[in-house]
Structure 1
Amino acid sequence: MRPVSSLSYRSAQRFPVVSCIRTYASNSKPAVPSASTASGGPQAPLEYCSSLVKKMDPEAWLCSYFWPRREKAWWLAWRAFNLELHSISANVSQPALASIRFQFWRDALKGIFAANPQNQIVPQHPVAVLLADMKKHRPVQKYYLNQLIDVRAKALSLPPAAVSLESHLSINSPLSTSLLLGPLPILLPPTHASSAHISHTLSHVSTLLAVVSLLRNLPILISQKKQISIPADICEKYGIVEEELFRRGAEAKGFRDACWEIGTRGMDELITARRDLKETGGKVVPSSVMPIFLSAVAPENYLKRLEKYDFDVFHPDIQKHDWQLAPKIWYRYQTGKL
């Protein structure tokens, strides 16, 4: 049994309000043409991406309110691209068919990032159209978008559970890294003096996101009686038996202890990221990149709620949307701190 004192994460500070965010970009709307949806009807790319993110990734959609108007469209396109890939991984059971669909997006990126503008062939898919507009105005890298494809494609042939927690994070962290570092040039020029430091801090946040994603997926996998994704070293340490977990859920031997250890790993990454900002008094500098750091609010909120319910990932309140999340994101934006 874990001691009572070990149940708690380290406490986080609250900070006073500071000035609003600076941005190097204009506030004009992105000039992007209309595109066709899968059903054949006309739909503006921004409308499509915004609707998709709002439906499938509401936490990212809440964060989008704090992006400058033009950059918000590109951020939503990046997140929508990730969701298109996620739907392939989640809904296509045949690897060959999934490979074909992934190849569509590889070809789309090849056209968007063509060295010669005359060779640029952009599919009339709303996400591709908006990504192409982003590429025209910001020095984003094709590498991070390709990484979103490669990691998901590779995961189809990997066992659900990694050998160790560190192995799991090394495999899955590139997804969250691509969602954080990839869009960074939208707000911050790569030549900026703080670019390397900001990237390093975001790398810790990306590990936090990977940890929370692991915990959030557990109720789904267990309820469907699929092979669980808890790393083998964690299962062995706490004596977790898969069949017992399917029968008893959170009451299975060692399960809450395992969730506590995994969650603590994520909270430690957040604490480390905040230490990186110590020289600026905890503030994100330059403040123009603060919208990206808002992605840490929802994972931290999840871990704190998980602690409140004794690390029971099945608790009904954990499964519900937290109405306090939106004001928490707003407050973090106002403080200018991680």
Structure 2
Amino acid sequence: MRSNSVKWGAALISKNKKQMRRLLQNTNGQILFVSQIVTRHLSSSSASGDAIRRTQKDPRKQQQQTTNIISREDKFGAKYCMGLVEKYDYENYLSTLLLPTELRVSAFALRAFNVEVSRSVGTQLTEPQIAKMRLKFWYDSIDKCFESDTSKSYVKDQPVLRELKRTVGSSKLNKLYLRRLVTARERAPNQAFETLRDLEDYADQTCSSLLHLLVQLSGVQDVQVDHAASHLGKAQGIAMMLRAIPHAGRQQAVCVPLEVLVRHGVSQERILRSEREDKGAEECIFEVASLANTHLKLTRQLLPQMPRIVRKIFLPAVATDGYLERLRRAHFLLTHPSCIKRDSMLPARLFWKTLFNAY
């Protein structure tokens, strides 16, 4: 009896072991199945998460690409303005390179705009109507640059105007000075200056207006600074017009005013020939050059009152003084080689003046 009960107990235990083994197998299978589902779900969710992250990063990449495109356009516009000034206004190009970094790009934009406006009147001798249309274009473009939204205008497609727009947006510039750069060039090339005052006014409208804009870039507001800028602009403008006489055509009037020519009994033809033995022409050039030198001296008398940043802006006085000195040594002969060729020592003298905060 006892042996039968033992056998029955052993059979029950073995049966329970088989059932437990099956249960564990089923349980392990379910656990494995569930773990597979969880793993697939996690992998799919991580993939979708990566996709979501990618979609979230795409706008940043697009924005970064757009920013890179804009920065490339800005760099191209800045380099274009620098190249334009270097090619057509080399002396002012050297002076602008010595400005502080925060002003240099904007200063090149203003000088490039002045170069483009002055180049527009180069066709007045042959095609005056085209010159007027070009001046009208630059005059209207000034208003476009001061508008808040120019995304649909032609400003963004023209590198000089794009840089001018950026300069206007970052600084408080007077629109009047920009307009004077254009309206002053409306003067006919064969129209002579009647008086020295007319010559001064033209130089003031062109060169002085540009200097006033450069001073506004620096943020300096001072009556003495404006006074010095006006004198320097007149001196620089008169010297530049004297320098251009040997390159002027026969149909273009010389910058020597009529009252000076009448006073010395000299014709414009004699000024254009500029012969060494012509004492009358020498006296006319001496009188006009003396006027420029007077304005330059008045500018330098105000040097102690000028802030350091303004002294760097007034560095074009160095080139003006150099030309007037060479003209004096050449006995006011405009066609002398020293008065026509480029000053090779100008970079060194500009750097020297910069070291001593002078102009």
> TM-score per shorter chain, which class?
0.7 to 0.9
Alignment partner, residue 337 of structure 2: 316
Shift in alpha-carbon separation, 1:131–1:118, aligned structure 2, 3 A: closer
Alignment partner, residue 350 of structure 2: 329
Shift in alpha-carbon separation, 1:186–1:120, aligned structure 2, 3 A: farther
Alignment partner, residue 219 of structure 1: 246
Shift in alpha-carbon separation, 1:336–1:284, aligned structure 2, 3 A: farther
- Identity, % of aligned positions: 24
Query: Which has more helix, going by share of residues?
Result: 2
Matched, 1:181 2:207: no
Retained in 2: the 8 A contact 1:32–1:130?
no
Unaligned runs of 5+ in 1: 1-30, 37-42
Of 124, 128, 138 in structure 1, the residue corresponding to residue 157 of structure 2 is: 124
Alignment partner, residue 98 of structure 2: 66
Retained in 1: the 8 A contact 2:254–2:272?
no
After TM superposition, give the deviation of residue 261 of structure 1 in Å.
1.1
Mapping 1:148-297, distance limit 5 Å: 148-153=181-186, 155-156=187-188, 159-190=190-221, 195-221=222-248, 224=250, 226-246=252-272, 249-277=275-303, 282=304, 284-285=306-307, 287-297=308-318
After TM superposition, give the deviation of residue 253 of structure 1 in Å.
4.3
Shift in alpha-carbon separation, 1:272–1:292, aligned structure 2, 3 A: same
Matched, 1:87 2:94: no
After TM superposition, give the deviation of residue 103 of structure 1 in Å.
2.1
Retained in 1: the 8 A contact 2:285–2:332?
yes
Retained in 2: the 8 A contact 1:32–1:133?
no
Retained in 2: the 8 A contact 1:112–1:120?
no
Q: Which amino acid aligns with 2:229?
A: L
Matched, 1:78 2:78: no
* Structure-2 separation of matches of 1:123 and 1:254: 52
Q: Which amino acid aligns with 2:234?
A: T
Question: Based on CA coordinates, which of the two structures has the bigger radius of gyration?
Answer: 2
Retained in 1: the 8 A contact 2:199–2:238?
no
Q: Which amino acid aligns with 2:311?
A: M
* Structure-2 separation of matches of 1:288 and 1:239: 45
* Structure-1 separation of matches of 2:207 and 2:272: 29
Q: Which amino acid aligns with 1:252?
A: D
* Structure-2 separation of matches of 1:245 and 1:141: 38
After TM superposition, give the deviation of residue 274 of structure 1 in Å.
2.1
After TM superposition, give the deviation of residue 289 of structure 1 in Å.
1.8
SS for the counterpart of 2:306 is: coil
* Structure-2 separation of matches of 1:240 and 1:265: 18
Matched, 1:134 2:161: no
Matched, 1:111 2:144: yes
* Structure-1 separation of matches of 2:171 and 2:112: 18
* Structure-1 separation of matches of 2:274 and 2:301: 39
* Structure-2 separation of matches of 1:331 and 1:142: 34
* Structure-2 separation of matches of 1:118 and 1:293: 33
Shift in alpha-carbon separation, 1:225–1:275, aligned structure 2, 3 A: same
TM-score by length of 1: 0.79
**Whose relative contact order is higher, 1 or 2, with alpha carbons under 8 Å and at least 6 apart?**
1
Retained in 1: the 8 A contact 2:215–2:313?
yes
Alignment partner, residue 8 of structure 1: none
SS for the counterpart of 1:161 is: coil
After TM superposition, give the deviation of residue 118 of structure 1 in Å.
7.1
* Structure-2 separation of matches of 1:81 and 1:305: 29
* Structure-2 separation of matches of 1:245 and 1:270: 24
SS for the counterpart of 2:122 is: helix
* Structure-2 separation of matches of 1:292 and 1:303: 20
Q: Which amino acid aligns with 1:333?
A: T
* Structure-1 separation of matches of 2:114 and 2:246: 22
* Structure-2 separation of matches of 1:274 and 1:243: 35
Alignment partner, residue 100 of structure 1: 133
* Structure-2 separation of matches of 1:233 and 1:164: 6
Unaligned runs of 5+ in 2: 1-68
Retained in 1: the 8 A contact 2:193–2:258?
yes
